[in-house]
Amino acid sequence: MTVFTEARHPVAFILSEAAGYRSREAIKIPESQTIQPGQVLAAKVVVADATATPTAAAGNTGNATIAMGSPELTSTAKNGRYKGIAVTATTVRWEDPDGNEIGTSTHGSAMTKGGIKIQITAGGNANVAGDEFYVDVGVEPVDYEFVPYSKNAVDGSQVAVAIAMYPAVTGVGETMEIAGFVRDGEVNAKELVLPDGLSAAETADLYGELAKVGIIVRN
């Protein structure tokens, strides 16, 4: 007897969604991917498509300058203003656009933290505590690529933010756009494609990440 395995059906995971097409968005799948309907996805910044502008506050006592690294950003960069506040003459504590502390830079040394790469160079006048530095990052919706969620990653794919509505297969050097379920709806847990080996606690954490964008998982 021939046994047939039924493939996953597009959009079968959706229990409810926002009015119109508000829950859906066109998302870009990068090269060398095989995506199934219902697969939980993460978003990574395409560094070459985003922008970063560093500045030192005009009212600073010191005249240190700030420059971006090469490349300027990493795939975990966030849209908005990163803020650095000097704590000593040569150290600056940094926060991301959400107000989360990401690390401390030291004048003369490169820092790669929280999605940005910067280096502050001391000038003739020393900085004092309270002097400020900024990096304004521009990441538009089209500047993201969507990849399968991976709990052990550190490149942005460890944060679940979307669900693939349709299949996608891309080869080397190929990208593809599909519809993604990205906000405000309810989905069936039994129809989701998750990484193998997730514990109950890890699965709950993943569902919590989806809830942050308004996607509620129902068992």
**14-46+141-218 in CATH: which number?**
2.40.300.10
Alpha carbons 181 and 128: distance in angstroms, whole number? 48
> What pLDDT score does 3 carry?
60
What does the pLDDT read at residue 9?
Answer: 76
CA end-to-end distance (rounded Å), the chain: 34
pLDDT in tens, 44-75: 999 999 999 999 999 999 999 999 999 999 99
Instruction: Check whether 8 has a pLDDT greater than 80.
Output: no
Mean pLDDT within 201-212: 97
Each domain of the chain, given as residue ranges in start order, spans 14-46+141-218, 51-138
Distance CA 8, CA 192 (A): 10
Spatial separation of the C-alpha atoms in residues 199 and 85, rounded to whole Å: 40
pTM of this structure? 0.86
**Cβ contacts of residue 25 below 8 Å, gap of 6+?**
141, 162, 179, 180, 182, 183
For residue 30, pLDDT over 60 is answered with yes
Q: In the prediction, which pLDDT does 4 show?
A: 55
**Residue 150: predicted pLDDT:** 96
Residue 105 has pLDDT above 80, yes or no: yes
Q: In 3D, which of 91, 199, 105, 113 has the Cα closest to residue 151?
A: 199
Banded pLDDT at 10 (limits 50, 70, 90): confident
Which CB contacts under 8 angstroms, 24+ apart, belong to 151-159? 151/195, 151/198, 151/202, 151/206, 153/42, 154/76, 155/44, 155/74, 155/75, 155/76, 156/42, 156/43, 156/44, 156/45, 156/75, 156/76, 157/42, 157/44, 158/42, 159/42, 159/43, 159/209
- Residue 6 predicted with pLDDT over 60: no
Among residues 160, 113, 131, which one has the least CA distance to residue 56?
Answer: 131
The pLDDT of residue 5: 56
Identify the pLDDT of residue 41. Answer: 98
- Quote the pLDDT of residue 72: 97
pLDDT digits (tens, 9 = 90+) for 147-190: 999 999 999 999 999 999 999 999 999 999 999 999 999 999 99
